[in-house]
Structure 1
Amino acid sequence: MLAILERIDPNSSNIDLLVALFNSLRPKRPHDSATAIANVRTLRQLLKGNPAQARALHEYVLRVLAARRHASLYTDIGVLSNSGFFTELKRRIAYRMLPPALGDEYLNDALDQVLYLKTDYLWISNVPATDWLELFDVLTSDDIELAVGDGNIMLPGILDAIRTLSYRVCAMGLEPELTRFHNEIEVFQSPFMVQNTEVNAYLDAYSNLLQGNIEHIEDARHLLVMLDQCDAVIAKIRKKALYQGTSIPLTYLLVALAQSIDRLRKLLFLVDTSGELPASCNVDIAAITVDATQDLLHPQPVSRRRAGAVGLALELIRAHNHKYKVSDLFSDNINLLARNVTENASRTGEHYIAENRREMGAMFLSSAGAGVIIGFMALFKILMSYLRSAPLVEAFMFSMNYSIGFMFIHLLHFTVATKQPAMTASRIAAGLHSKDGRNIDLDSMAELINKVFRTQNMAVLGNLATAIPTAWLIALGYKAITGHHLVSPEKAMHLLHDIDPIGSPAIFYAMIAGVCLFVAGLISGYYDNQALYTRWAQRIAQLRGLGRIIGQDRLQRLGWYLENNLGGLMGNFYFGILLGSIGTLGFLIGLPIDIRHITFSAANFATALVGLDHNMSWQLAVKSLSGIFAIGTANLLVSFGLALWVALRSRQVRFKHGMQLLKILGKRFLRAPIVFFFGSKNPPPLALLDDSANLSPTTKAQK
């Protein structure tokens, strides 16, 4: 470190020595805060003991800063561009593989050269603010605050960045994607345009102040009012999106707007001349100020502006280290879209929860109807397999068999048991998201989970109660009509081997089917969201040609039906494609992947039983039935677990009271096992199951 300080040339703007200096400060492990703090304090002591080196380093840093443009550092780092989600995604992927060329014109390129490790923000943020501020104080006797004056080399770049960000906010606020969704912007004066006018006037006055034409200017409070109005519009759009749907471009636009407005606030706070401007809520000025006065031997108060500068610097460094990180782009943009997808699934999930025994009976009948259709779907698949078609042709036929069958089940309002978890998980997540963000009524949540559990069991029983007899009768009828079995004894044993929980990878294949169920749930929610966002009912009602054929009334009913059921239809369609093509995909790429579904496995068991002329040992029967049970369990647990995880992530919920919830469920089972499995005849109304209801705390836990 000392050798580097001795080599510093105060008349040079070459960045190599600054890179070497930061290399000497950087610990070997990014989380080694003790070493990082010790290195920074060592540098401070060296500079304090040699004022000439401190002066040389100060002049050298100033020359490095003066030789580069600053505005892009504040406008581009940590703020999404308005190029769009997929363009930004491609850019990040490309630059992660081959980073862009760095030059000497821009300060953000210099940051790339100095802090080139993706973990640099960790050790820099672990060094207390007091150490950084004391190091800056040693470097120069001048005040490093961003105050008005010719000596402030950072000020022009910040002012340019404020103007640039203001123009960007104005442009994004007038994007058709946003104005179409929130047309009040066009009816009333847009706050996005007004803020740009006010910012330009403020910066013009600031320029006159710097030139000495005026003695003082108004503070930027009126600008913050306009930015607050912009934030209010963004909040309204986000709220409307929850029930009107959203899109990736709109979500990206809202995130970019929010980031630009937040950065504007922070920069305005730094250049404010009054010292009374409130800091951005995203920077904990108080914490940094307290941290910067922890030196008990030499306590010195730190200004709010210096604390704000430190906070912004740490934010820029972290954003710089993550600027090509794809996961950050997804986490910033997908939450709202995922929330909308799971909200639609949650609304669908309400229909999969029986409140009383009467509704349980209705669920049994609904799932029994689906079991009959699945019995025929299993027949068609076996017949298709006898065609010995090419792999891709066979995959297409299997997929269409599944897709058409599942869509037919949806049209008849029947229920496939394994489709429930992906929907009901979102409903449970809605209950875990309390209104005040802190308290959750665990008794109400246990009641909801209990209802989901027994409804799910009833749906499974309904599917199996008809799928097995239907497949058995079909196999008997096939033999009676054709004179030979639907499946040979060898084929029957193969079908039984496929559901063997020990001698075959049936459980693993069932988990793959659970993933397919989860994906189908996401697809269903996505298309429900798209149908709402793009107003399918209105668009279909405008089809004049189709209206002349079927009549305008039928056309409107068709539009409303598709808008309300597009997600269900498309989810079933793609679910069928997944089930029909996974096995062929595994065959083509040489991977042992396939699917096992509880209802089809049960139907195949009945078919195999007839194919063996009912000559089946009890050991084989028990093993096969155990396999069916294991397959169903894997189907349900995997799809439910993944759906619940996504629903919780989309709502940003962290639930930490699983054991307490399990204890409450156990007590409910021991107290009334019959009610636990079959429900009561007239259950009391549940106080809360969604976001909008008030929690009636019986058993509350802190999240």
Structure 2
Amino acid sequence: MRALVPILEDIAASPDDRSAQALLEIIAALRPRDLEAPGAATQRLRALISTLQTRPHLAEGLRHYLSALFASRLQRSLFADLGILTNDSIFGAITKRVVSKILPPAHDDTYLQDLFAALVSEAKGQHWIAEIPEQVIAELLRVIGFGSAYSGNERRMEAEMIEALRILSFRLAALGLEPDFLRYDSDAASHESPFVAQTDEVQSISSAAFAALSDRSLPWPDWSHLDVLLQQCEQHVARIRKLARQGGASVALTYDAQRAGQTIERMRKLVVLAAPDSSEAQQRRKLAFFRELLAHEAEKNSIRALLVRVTDLLALQVTEHASRTGEHYVTSTASEQAALFRAAAGAGVIVAFMAIIKIYTAKAHLPPLWEAIGYSLNYGLGFIVVHLFHFTIATKQPAMTAALLAATMDESRDGKPPLDTLENLVVDVLRSQFIAILGNVAVAFSVSLGVGWLWMQTFGLNMVDTAKATILLSDLRPLASLAIPHAAIAGVCLFLSGLISGYYDNKCVYSRIPQRIRQLAGLKRWLGAERVNRVAAYIENNLGALMGNFLFGCMLGCMGTIGFLLGLPLDIRHVTFGAANLAYGLAAQGFDVPVQLVVSCSLGVAAIGLTNLLVSFSLALYTAMKSRQVRFAYGRHLFGRVLRRIARRPQDLFIPPRSANTKDAP
């Protein structure tokens, strides 16, 4: 209070001063210092209240000062802009925030929003302000003299809120007429749009509201019809988001849908807050609104907050496609399990040959760039061949099944997720993952071992020289090498490949690539209409998988070269390739390998597989749950149910139950 009292005395001496410096000094005096106990700001505020109560002239001076300060600044931009995405593109908004962090914008005394920015800057954030109890702030306002009677300052604020409402009304109409919106909203394109109709309603009732603010005897206009129109706008936005799940979504569409939702929400608040009401409930609503604005101001230049706000819905579109793909990786019957094993075994055969191609590419000692291209083409084209033959790479499953689990968690009823369905699904996922890994690893190891042995019998020399065989085996030892960290890097690549697949599936539908292919006259003349239709249908169903597999191979192939260029120990370890390398190493050593080394390398392959799965599954599940805004509080309960199920029926991890009760679950 020793710092605050002189500031209050200066304010009382010149209450008509419209400079914000005194208010900034008050904020600086109230702000908690480093290492102070929680609640220090609240204690200072209570002391300020006591001082104002004992010295009424200070309270009167502060009231005049704050009234003049707020009345001299335009308030509509604060109500219409703060907390709502701008009309920039997503990349433009990011660029603007980066520039604002480096070179903050100049403050303009004409606008109240700039005063808010200065207050938050002086407060070093708004977290301690948010922690102050609402009743303490309400008591401070009562002592100063705000809210006790309907004042001219409140009347000006309400008029500014109505002006902000008109601004938002026009912005919402422009958003509703965006081409991306009209593409999904045929009703708005062919009939009168509620986005346009609400502007006429706002203009009509805002004129009546301004008249009621000037003449208190006039009735306050009825806003109920506007509320109906805003509900219709919300329904249109919700329908667009729903249709975008099947028709694909772009960053711009997602960004505009967020802007529309925020604009509608702000218009609803302004309709309530602009009413001439001096009740205690209305004062609490206004206080809550201003605290919300402070929070928005604190994160106005946050790039992370912008990305989180915008990318959640776009991530939902991507993971939605991944969850539908994940259904094909989960088996619940014996026939499905047998088919999955055959698909995994076929992939194991191809991986055995991909592994030896990689070994010979490394043996060529190409320059780093060409070596990376060689590795990438080997991996990428090999994974595409796996897909073309409808085979399965086991480690690709987690990125897809995690999205399926998140989609099932989202089917909650009365706030409780379907635990029975989730239990069955988790067991099915574990069993499917086990059989897929068994098919990949066992067949890749067996084929590699057989190829190495046949090469020796046919040509009389080892397929892999002894020095390379030693390196292959040592790279698999879990404690004597970087096998586990490298397996984690491969897990991240697996997770990214799942997102890439979902992204291209979404892009294929949104950009209408199949329809555009069918319209290519030259291609029709060359291949014929029937073949072009088949090509378009194949692209529609497989573009995401093809791009995900190829780019996954590129990530694996380039990782070692990137590590070399950066001087970092970056590389990848994949469980199926690890099994193939173990077989080639054993064959090259003439099977004369110490038992301890065989055991260590076998454990290394198992650890690599576990790391691949855990990293990719964890990242994919986190992304899928976050995109759906699923907060799963039943993890321990579900984990316990799964453990009891395994203890009661351990065969369910290897053999599907006769009654496939999980078929109708997802």
| TM category, shorter | over 0.9
2:647 matches 1:686 = no
The answer as to 2:88 corresponding to 1:111 is: no
Match of 2:381 in 1: 404
Q: Which residue of 66, 70, 73 maps to 2:78?
A: 73
Q: In structure 2, what is the Cα distance between the partners aligned to 1:173 and 1:77?
A: 21
Q: Deviation per CA, 1:392-424, whole angstroms, max 9, x where unpaired?
A: 110011001100010111111100011011111
Range 256-265 or range 124-133, more displaced? 124-133
Q: Does 1:53 align with 2:58?
A: yes
Show the counterpart of 2:225.
Answer: 222
Per-residue CA deviations over 1:123-148 (Å, capped at 9, x if unaligned) read 22222222222212222277465x7x
Give 3-state SS (helix, strand or coil) of 2:392's partner: coil
Query: Is the contact made by 2:325 and 2:400 (CA closer than 8 Å) also made in structure 1?
Result: yes
RMSD: 2.1
Select 1:305's aligned residue among 278, 282, 292. Answer: 282
Question: 1:300-325: CA deviations, max 9, x gaps?
Answer: x9533212211111110110111111
**Contact conserved, 1:32 with 1:123, CA < 8 A, in 2?**
no
2:654 counterpart SS class: helix
User: Which position in structure 2 is the counterpart of 1:593?
Assistant: 570
Percentage identity across paired residues of the two chains: 39
- Give the deviation of 1:532 after TM superposition: 1.7
The one-letter amino acid paired with 2:665 is L
Q: CA deviation at 1:510?
A: 0.6
Kept in 2: contact 1:418–1:635 (CA 8 A): yes
Distance 1:131 1:469 in 2: 74
> For residues 468-479 of structure 1, what are the structure 2 equivalents within 5 Å?
468-479=445-456
What do residues 471-526 of structure 1 show as CA deviations (whole Å, max 9, x unaligned)? Answer: 22333444456553221111100010111111101011011101110111111111
Q: Structure 2 counterpart of 1:392, which letter?
A: L
Kindly tell me: are residues 480 and 314 of structure 1, through their superposed partners in 2, closer, same or farther at Cα, counting changes over 3 Å? Answer: same
- Partners of 2:328 and 2:154 lie apart in 1 by 68
Higher mean displacement: 94-103 or 577-586: 94-103
Q: Does residue 85 of structure 1 match 2:90?
A: yes
Q: What is residue 520 of structure 2 aligned with on the other side? A: 543
1:100 aligns with 2:108: no
Q: Contact between 1:469 and 1:606, CA under 8 Å: does it hold in 2?
A: yes
Going from structure 1 to structure 2, the CA distance change for 1:491 and 1:11 (only over 3 Å counts) comes to: same
Pick closer, same or farther for the CA change 1:318–1:614 going to 2, 3 Å. same
SS of the aligned residue for 1:82 comes to coil
1:439 aligns with 2:416: yes
**CA 1:270–1:663 in 2, change beyond 3 Å: closer, same or farther?**
closer
Deviations 1:43-99 (A, max 9, x none): 122112222111211111122212222111111110111112111111112212322
Partner of 2:602: 625
Q: 1:264 aligns with which of 250, 264, 267?
A: 267
Q: Is the 8 A contact 1:11 1:63 kept in 2?
A: yes
The aligned counterpart of 2:330 is 353
Query: 1:154 is paired with a residue of what secondary structure?
Result: helix
**Runs of 4+ residues over 6 Å off in structure 1:** none
Distance 2:115 2:539 in 1: 55
Give the superposition deviation at 1:467: 1.1
Structure 2: which amino acid aligns with 1:511? Answer: A
User: Following the alignment from structure 1 to structure 2, what is the Cα–Cα distance between the partners of residues 142 and 421?
Assistant: 58
Matching residue of 2:539: 562
Alignment of structure 1 residues 283-682 onto 2, 5 Å: 302-436=279-413, 438-479=415-456, 483-680=460-657, 682=658
After superposition, where does 1:179-198 map in structure 2 within 5 Å?
Answer: 179-198=182-201
Q: CA 1:124–1:347 in structure 2 vs 1: closer, same or farther (change >3 Å)?
A: same
Q: Which moved more, 1:303-312 or 1:356-365?
A: 303-312
1:349 to partner: Cα distance: 0.7
2:132 equivalent in structure 1:
127
Q: Distance in 1 between matches of 2:293 and 2:637?
A: 42
Q: Report the CA distance shift for 1:132/1:248 in structure 2 as closer, same or farther (over 3 A).
A: same
Match of 2:181 in 1: 178
User: For the structure 1 residues 475 and 142, does the alpha-carbon distance in structure 2 shift closer, same or farther, using more than 3 Å as the test?
Assistant: closer
Paired residue secondary structure (1:100): coil
Structure 1 stretch displaced more, 204-213 or 651-660 = 204-213
Measured after TM superposition, the shift of residue 688 of structure 1 is: 5.6
Secondary structure of the structure 2 residue equivalent to 1:678 = coil
Identify the residue that residue 245 of structure 1 maps to in structure 2: 248
In 2: Cα distance, 1:385 partner to 1:151 partner: 76
CA distance in 2, matches of 1:60, 1:118: 20
Q: 1:545 to 1:207 in 2, by over 3 A?
A: same
Deviations along 1:666-699, one digit per CA (max 9) or x if unpaired, are: 222222222332223x224237633xxxxxxxxx
Cα distance between partner residues in 1 of 2:79 and 2:158: 12
1:24 aligns with 2:25: no
Distance 1:117 1:353, change over 3 A: farther
After TM superposition, the score normalised by the length of structure 1 is 0.90
> CA offsets, 1:193-237, max 9 Å, x none?
011111111222223334549823422122111111111111111
Post-superposition CA distance 1:580-604 (Å, at most 9, x none) = 0011100110111110001111111
CA shift for structure 1 position 462: 0.7
Give, in angstroms, the shift of residue 364 of structure 1: 0.7
**Partner of 1:553: helix, strand, or coil?**
helix
* Letter of the 1:62 counterpart: S
Please state whether the residue corresponding to 1:324 is helix, strand or coil. coil
Determine if contact 1:208/1:214 at 8 Å carries over to the other structure: no
Is residue 158–residue 275 contact of structure 2 (8 Å, CA) maintained in 1? no
Aligned pairs (5 A) from 1:1-12: 1-8=4-11, 9-12=14-17
Q: Which of 214, 229, 238 in structure 2 is aligned with 1:235?
A: 238
Name the amino acid aligned to 2:98: I
Deviation at 1:151, TM superposition (A): 6.8
1:412-455 Cα offsets, whole Å, 9 max, x none, are: 11000110111111111122223325112333322111111111
Deviation per residue, 1:607-641 (Å, 9 max, x gap): 11221122112111111111111111111111111
Give, in whole Å, the separation in 2 of the partners of 1:480 and 1:607: 14
Please report how far the alpha carbon of residue 32 of structure 1 lies from its aligned counterpart in structure 2 after TM superposition.
5.5
CA distance in 2: counterparts of 1:650 and 1:376, whole angstroms: 38
3-state SS of paired residue (2:365): coil
Tell me, what secondary structure is at the counterpart of 1:116? Answer: helix
After TM superposition, the score normalised by the length of structure 2 is 0.95
Between 413-422 and 57-66, the greater mean CA deviation after superposition? 57-66
User: Matches of 1:220 and 1:272 in 2, distance apart?
Assistant: 10
Amino acid at match of 2:340: M
Runs of 5+ consecutive residues of structure 1 not aligned to the other structure: 276-300, 691-703
Deviating more after overlay: 132-141 vs 230-239: 132-141
Q: Which structure has greater helix proportion?
A: 2
Q: Is the 8 A contact 1:33 1:127 kept in 2?
A: no
Distance change (3 Å), C-alpha of 1:142 and 1:238: closer
**Aligned length, in residue pairs:** 661
SS at match of 2:417: strand
Q: Deviations over 1:114-170 (max 9, x none)?
A: 22157643222222222222212222277465x7x5873323322221111111111
- Which residue identity lines up with residue 500 of structure 1 in the other structure? R
